[in-house]
Amino acid sequence: MTYFLQQVVDGVSTGVIYALLGLAMVLIFRATGIINFAQGELATIAAFFAWQLNLWGLPIWLAIAATAVIGFGAGAAIERVVIRPVANKDHFTLIMVTLGLFMITNAVTGLVWGYTIQAFPDPFPVAAWTVHGVSLSLASVGTIVIVCVVGFLLYQLFHRTRLGLGMRAAISNPESARLSGIDVGRMQMIGWGLAAMVGTLAGALAAPKLFLEPNMMLGVLTYAFAAVIVGGLDSPLGAVVGGLAIGVTENLAGAYLYDFVGNDLKIAVPLALVFGILLVRPQGLFGRRAVARA
């Protein structure tokens, strides 16, 4: 039982990273109706940036915060320069454009920082508690708390502020939003900016576990996709629950199905589950809208 609980706890602490990147994707989907394949790479480049600032002497938390602010601007700029011109194009074009963004971001990261693995400083001090034989590290607890806080703030933003109302109106019915005086383009820019901010956090929290290198987030991206698909692309809560579920499943599969799946394939188990779910409920468990239009 202790062993089982330990696996669940460990699963949760990886799952929150997927949840965080998933939240970023939901933000972009809610703002612009786009699934952003570049989300993971944008998080990676942000992590590198924070790492660089830290290397230049900024304390790590300050470096992450500064990167998050700069990330907001960068995300907004990407929306304005790359996404806006294709906003009315078909789904395929949009996906391909974010794929192009994925490759460019990945390349720029490699160009600037190279492909050697770097150690990212752990933003949390090394400490752990043991509760009924289950060990909880400060890093895990801290990460979980951060994800909860981010989720809570986003919820408040969307449901309790004028800006959030404008953003929701703009995605619900852009035409009527414009006619109500809402600057839809600005809402979309803010959506991308916020997503980049959340993505920065995801990158910075993932980096100490994964080791910093340009392709670090590829696996996380695949999982975050799975998380938002389970949760529903337009549901922030779904992204969190989906992310946690995937982290836990992955860990349990590694613990209990090791003989069969091995270390390499344990990550296939949650993906398989996700596609099972997708076949039964194409709109995800929490999503309201089927995003199946081509």
Partner 1 sequence: MRISLRERGTSVSPFATSPLRTAMMGVLALAAVVLPFVLSSFVTFQLSMALIYAIAALSIVLLTGMNGQIALGHGAFFGLGAYTTAILVQNHGWHFLLTMPVGALLCFVLGVLIGIPALRLRGAYLAVLTLSVAFLFPLVIKRFNDFTGGSSGMTISQDLLDAPEWSGLSRDRFHYFLALLVLMVLLVLTRNLLRGRTGRAIVGIRDNEIAAITVGIHLPTVKTITFGISAAFAGVAGCLYTVTIAFVSSDAFPVQMSINFLIGAVVGGLYNIYGSIIGGLVLEFLPQYSQSLSPSLTAFVYGAALIVILLVMPGGAAALIGKALDGVGRLVSGRRPGSGESTVAVPVSSEPISSESIRSGDDDPVAPAGSSPP
Partner 2 sequence: MSLLEVTDLMAGYGPAKVLHGMTFAVDEGEIATILGANGAGKTTTLRAICGMVATSGGIRFDGRSVRGLAPARMARLGVAHVPQGRGTFAGLTVRENLLAGAYTRRDRAGVAADIDRISQWFPRLAERRDQPAGSLSGGEQQMLAVSRALLLRPRLLLLDEPSLGLAPLVTQSLFGTLTDIHNQMGTTMLIVEQNAGLALRIAHRAFVLEAGRIVRAGDAASVAADDSVRRAYLGLGDSR
The distance of closest approach from Cβ of residue 28 to partner 2 in the complex, given in angstroms and rounded to an integer, is 17
Q: Which of 103, 117, 149, 257 binds partner 1 (CB under 8 A)?
A: 103
Query: Which element (helix H / strand E) includes 1?
Result: none
Distances (CA, A) of 287 to 154, 212, 223: 17, 33, 17
**Stretch 244-263: interaction string toward partner 1, x if CB under 8 A:** -----------------xx-
Q: Residue 143 binds which entry of partner 1, partner 2, none, with Cβ cut-offs from 5 to 8 Å by kind? A: none
Cα torsion angle, 103, 74, 33, 86, sign: negative
Any contact of residue 284 with partner 2 (CB under 8 A)? no
For residue 284, give Cα distances in angstroms to 51, 172, 239.
36, 19, 10
278 binds partner 1 (CB under 8 A): yes
CB of 234 to partner 2, least distance (A): 8
Minimum CB distance to partner 1, residue 6 (Å): 25
Nearest approach, Cβ of residue 79 and partner 1 (Å): 14
Q: Which residues contact 169 (CB under 8 A, 6 or more apart)?
A: 176, 177, 180, 182
Q: Based on CB atoms, which residue is closest to partner 1, 69 or 268?
A: 268
Decide: 286 and 238 in contact? Cβ < 8 Å: yes
Closest separation between CB of residue 73 and partner 1, Å? 20
Residue listed under structure tokens 């188990």? 269
Stretch that binds partner 2, among 91-99, 109-117, 141-149, 161-169 (CB under 8 A): 161-169
Residues whose CB falls within 8 Å of the CB of residue 38, separated by 6 or more in sequence, listed in order: 98, 99, 101, 102, 105
Q: CA 224, 225, 227, 233: dihedral to nearest 10 degrees?
A: 120
- Count of residues that interact with partner 1, criterion CB under 8 A: 49
B/e letters for 45-55, b = 16+ CB within 10 Å, e = fewer, are: bbbbbbbebbe
Choose the one of partner 1, partner 2, none that binds residue 115, judging by a C-beta under 5 to 8 angstroms depending on kind.
Answer: partner 1
CA dihedral 186, 220, 213, 9 (to 10 degrees): 120
Choose the binding region for partner 1 from 46-54, 90-98, 159-167, 184-192 (rule: CB under 8 A).
Answer: 90-98
In angstroms, the Cα distances linking 238 to 151, 226, 244, 245 are: 11, 11, 10, 10
Task: Show contacts with partner 2 in window 168-197 (CB under 8 A).
Answer: 168-169, 172-173, 175-184
Q: How far apart are the first and last CA of the chain?
A: 46
- Residue 132's binding partner among partner 2, partner 1, none (Cβ under 5 to 8 angstroms by kind) is none
Residues that bind partner 2 (CB under 8 A): 162, 165-166, 168-169, 172-173, 175-184, 288
Residues that bind partner 1 (CB under 8 A): 35, 37, 82, 85-86, 89-93, 95-97, 99-111, 115, 214, 218-219, 222, 225-226, 229, 261-262, 264-265, 267-268, 271, 275, 278-279, 282, 291-294
